[in-house]
Structure 1
Amino acid sequence: MSVSLVGDIGGTNARLALWRDGQLEHVRVLSTAAFAGPEQAIRSYLDTLGPHAGELERVCLACAGPVSGDEFRFTNNHWVISRTAFCRDLGLSDLLLINDFSAMALGVTCLRKDELLDVRPGVVVADCPRLVLGPGTGLGVGTLLPDTRGGWHALAGEGGHVDLPIGSEREADLWSYLHRQLGHVSAENLLSGSGLVSLYRASCALDGKTLRFDSAAEVTRAALEGDAQAIAVLEQFCTWLGRVAGNAALTLGARGGVYLAGGMLPRFADFLVASGFLAAFQAKGEMSGYLMHIPVWLVTAEQPGLLGAGLALQRSLAGESPMISGLADDV
């Protein structure tokens, strides 16, 4: 029995699953640090399944970073994929590689309404692009463009690496502190797991506060438990996310809506909704009105990236562009 495998691989975790009859099966999350490369992780995954695995025939991997050529180097971990070597080692005829937030964008087209949390209800403008972005190990950005058949084309890009926008004196001070350390300050430098820690350290340095937390999880937990410094940091994080999302939505004309995805945001969903995210999202001077009615959703589904990888593989096998998908429900 042949089987297809799909993967959603970021900087920290490799999510793997079997893809059968349009459904995910046997989802597992592995640490990228525990394996020398994706081949070893996939072999370990298949070994845990035993007779459920079958004979591996097709693989689609959604990978963090720009995808092209035979060799792919991950942006935020040590893994490297050579398509030729990968297929030889695993006995495959072909490997489909796609950008991770292209997969995320495809995945959100098939989510149920109960897998989306309204950050702001708005007016969906038909036939307009939709923006998908979110912080995790890095900051992913993807775009959904409508096609002429009622489906969507997922456009790959590296929007997480745009310059960090500055909208206040406090943000200018934080940017100056980080610029002295980093040189170029990208959105991803702040809007990611490690970025939240960098923001916390910069804030403590500017405010003369003692460092007490070493991870994004600790900063988030402290904020949700009422620590004043952590609250201020997480509030600034949400505000900056709003600025970046608003810039991208304005650039794309994303009046079809904005999806906030990634691993971080569901952990503080209520905080995000109550934060300055929306105010920063639409604070664009004379174009603020353009953004005021764009709906924003928080993706709460477990594995939208894996689902998107499965959809891409399914369409590729049908001889169609792997980056086209239908929309399950008009949210």
Structure 2
Amino acid sequence: MFIVCESGASAVMGRFVADVGGTNIRLAQETNGRISHIKKYLCKDYATIQEVILAYFAEFPDVTFKAGCIGIACPTNTDTIKMTNHHWAFSVKALTQGLSLDWLQVINDYTAVSMSLPVLGEDQKHQIGSGTADPTGHIAVFGPGTGLGVGHLIHTPVGWQSIPGEGGHVDFAPVDAIDMAILTFLQKRYERVSAEQLLSGNGLLQIYQAIADMNGVAVSCEEPAQVTENALSGACEICVKALNQFCAIMGSFAGNLALNMGTSGGIYIAGGIVSRFIPFLEQSDFRARYLAKGRFKEYVSVIPTYVITEPDHGLLGAAAYLEQHYKG
């Protein structure tokens, strides 16, 4: 749609989508469920979310943005939005007015991620292990990143419906002796140890620290990326053990999601961490721990597990949500 400005110049009426994590915010324009003009910004560089969205708008002076959908890493069930792993906090109503929008929906980032799953092509995901997805079966997705996001998707007569939640904050459930030692190690730091304390970037670092402590080895890595790099190169035995245990714990968590929701449509792993080491994941204890469900091993064995390889799946999901819900 075009409008005529007072100057006589034409302006395009636009819609935008955003994918907001604890570290980065990605923004794009949306048209008929498709995204374009993708830009990435560091959250720490902006005092407020309104500031960075307006900076994005300013890059497209010929577009008048009137609607948007934001997927963000925190609960979104009230007008007040406060991020879990970043300092941004805002009112949805105030942000709508501040951006001069007619319509704005703020959804949990994993609601957005879950909405992307039905539109992913085979070249945008990588299957780990066996299993065949039911095209209309329940789906679950989780993603280690700055935190641990979890989402669910069910098929209804009127289309796909995302079930929001905060599954990354469930209690960590140890399975083997190493898990139990890690739990003991972390209980000295935290009153409560959630799954996110292990399945996140900082979680990988804490697993490494715990395993080093168990083996009486001084730690040499200060960042999760160092642990991953040393594990993949084989330069550090403790790092290899840490990354394998990270994968094993992911497998147990994925299997629990499969049991909770009866996810015959599959379990997906999102986020920016796991897609970096898919070959390692395939050789790790991930799938063995996923299947280690006792009498329900056969139940989960037919449910496929995937790693999402499409980097902009959060934006795709926000676009799918916007397309399905915005009627303006």
TM-score, with structure 1 as normaliser: 0.92
Structure 1 residue 296: Cα displacement: 1.0
Name stretches of at least 5 consecutive residues in structure 1 with no aligned partner. Answer: 320-331
**Counterpart in the other structure of 1:153:** 161
Partners of 1:198 and 1:48 in 2: how far apart? 40
Q: Does 1:262 align with 2:286?
A: no
Task: Select between 88-97 and 103-112 the one with higher mean Cα deviation.
Answer: 88-97
**Counterpart in the other structure of 2:318:** 309
Match of 2:200 among 182, 192, 200: 192
Structure 1 residue 49: Cα displacement: 3.5
Structure 1 residue 126: Cα displacement: 5.2
Structure 1 residue 287: Cα displacement: 1.3
Q: Does 1:41 align with 2:49?
A: no
**Counterpart in the other structure of 1:24:** 35
**Counterpart in the other structure of 1:143:** 152
Partners of 1:12 and 1:298 in 2: how far apart? 21
Letter paired with 2:118: T
Name the SS of the counterpart of 2:151 in structure 1.
Answer: strand
Q: Does 1:244 align with 2:253?
A: yes
Q: Over aligned residues, Cα RMSD in angstroms?
A: 1.4
Partners of 1:2 and 1:161 in 2: how far apart? 40
What is the 5 A alignment of 1:230-241? 230-241=239-250
Name the SS of the counterpart of 2:188 in structure 1.
Answer: helix
Partners of 2:274 and 2:116 in 1: how far apart? 17
Name the SS of the counterpart of 1:92 in structure 2.
Answer: coil
Partners of 1:145 and 1:20 in 2: how far apart? 25
Name stretches of at least 5 consecutive residues in structure 2 with no aligned partner. Answer: 1-11
Structure 1 residue 318: Cα displacement: 3.1
- Percent sequence identity over aligned pairs: 35
Match of 1:98 among 107, 118, 123: 107
Partners of 2:157 and 2:99 in 1: how far apart? 38
Partners of 1:158 and 1:309 in 2: how far apart? 18
Partners of 2:327 and 2:65 in 1: how far apart? 18
Partners of 1:89 and 1:318 in 2: how far apart? 21
Partners of 2:143 and 2:101 in 1: how far apart? 32
TM-score, with structure 2 as normaliser: 0.93
Partners of 2:316 and 2:79 in 1: how far apart? 24
**Counterpart in the other structure of 2:94:** 85
Q: Does 1:164 align with 2:175?
A: no
Letter paired with 1:292: S
Partners of 1:20 and 1:123 in 2: how far apart? 32
Structure 1 residue 76: Cα displacement: 0.8
CA displacement 1:144-181 (0-9 Å, x = unmatched): 111125x3211111111111111111211110110111
Partners of 1:97 and 1:238 in 2: how far apart? 31
Structure 1 residue 121: Cα displacement: 2.9
Letter paired with 2:54: R
Structure 1 residue 12: Cα displacement: 0.6
Q: Does 1:203 align with 2:211?
A: yes
Instruction: Count matched residues.
Output: 316
Partners of 1:310 and 1:200 in 2: how far apart? 37
**Counterpart in the other structure of 2:125:** 116
Structure 1 residue 127: Cα displacement: 4.1
Query: Structure 1 residues 123, 21: CA separation in 2 closer, same or farther (over 3 Å shift)?
Result: closer
CA displacement 1:186-228 (0-9 Å, x = unmatched): 1101100111111111221221111111111111011011021
Letter paired with 2:205: V
Partners of 1:24 and 1:235 in 2: how far apart? 36
Letter paired with 2:176: S
Letter paired with 2:88: W
